[in-house]
A and B are shown apart, each in its own frame.
Chain A
Amino acid sequence: EAGVTQFPSHSVIEKGQTVTLRCDPISGHDNLYWYRRVMGKEIKFLLHFVKESKQDESGMPNNRFLAERTGGTYSTLKVQPAELEDSGVYFCASSSGVLAWVNEQFFGPGTRLTVL
């Protein structure tokens, strides 16, 4: 069974540009999450999809970030326009758990975003 995949693995852009990150969850997983780790800090939750619906987007830092999951399969996270402080590693995770009790999340390898 394929794991969570993310593309690209690394992206280098200039301040003000737009970047779109993609995540393909494990097949059949309704729950999809985005997290990010800014240099030297903890990994922070961004948002949670259940199928195509945003269940919790309390961690999204500002309106420069837009996440979508059309059709309830893969998800994209767009940053527009990118700022220096957006640099970090963006992780995607998925889970099949209907109940939070059994919510084991499987993480992708991450996308390292560098904003110059």
Chain B
Amino acid sequence: SQQGEEDPQALSIQEGENATMNCSYKTSINNLQWYRQNSGRGLVHLILIRSNEREKHSGRLRVTLDTSKKSSSLLITASRAADTASYFCATSGPSGTYKYIFGTGTRLKVLA
């Protein structure tokens, strides 16, 4: 199976609700990043969390990292219709490797 699997694959919520997406990976990492892709557009960087960090915040985004469980979560609070997109986690590592390994992504739909 592949590195960087997101869960759930699809999520539909009402505007104002919180959305939580999870990512699991298999090998040791240097850092983990979350990206957003709006339909037909490029990847937008959201947050980078390093392997020695446990939690990071950026605006309405909160990312946690549990290296013992090899998992990360992305929480979007007070969601908006504009948050509708696909969200991907990408891992870098183990040591010495530069390429990112992406998961299949979570498709989030926020209903107005």
Which A residues are within 8 Å of any B CB, using their own CB? Answer: 31, 33, 35, 41-45, 48, 55-56, 59, 91, 93, 95, 97, 100-101, 103-110, 112
Contacts and interface: CB of A to CB of B under 8 A. Distances in A.
A31 B42 CA distance: 19
Interface in B74-109: 88, 90, 92-93, 95-105
Dominant secondary structure at the A interface:
strand
B58 interface: no
A42 B87 CA distance: 11
Nearest to A91: B43
Which of A35, A43, A48, A55 has the most chain B CB atoms inside 10 A of its CB?
A43
Nearest to A45: B99
Interface of B: 2, 4, 30-31, 33, 35, 40-45, 48, 50, 88, 90, 92-93, 95-105
A45 B93 CA distance: 13
18 contacts: A42-B104, A43-B43, A44-B102, A48-B99, A56-B98, A100-B92, A100-B93, A100-B95, A100-B96, A100-B97, A101-B30, A104-B31, A105-B33, A105-B100, A107-B42, A107-B44, A110-B41, A110-B43
A59 B93 CA distance: 15
Contact of B42 (A42, A44, A45, A110): A110
A41 B43 contact: no
B98 A100 contact: yes
A106 to B, nearest CB: 7
Which of A55, A93, A107 has the most chain B CB atoms inside 10 A of its CB?
A107
A91 B42 contact: yes
Given A107-B45, A109-B41, A110-B42, A101 B102 contact: no
A103 B105 CA distance: 21
Contacts of A42: 2, 4, 88, 102-105
B98 A108 contact: no
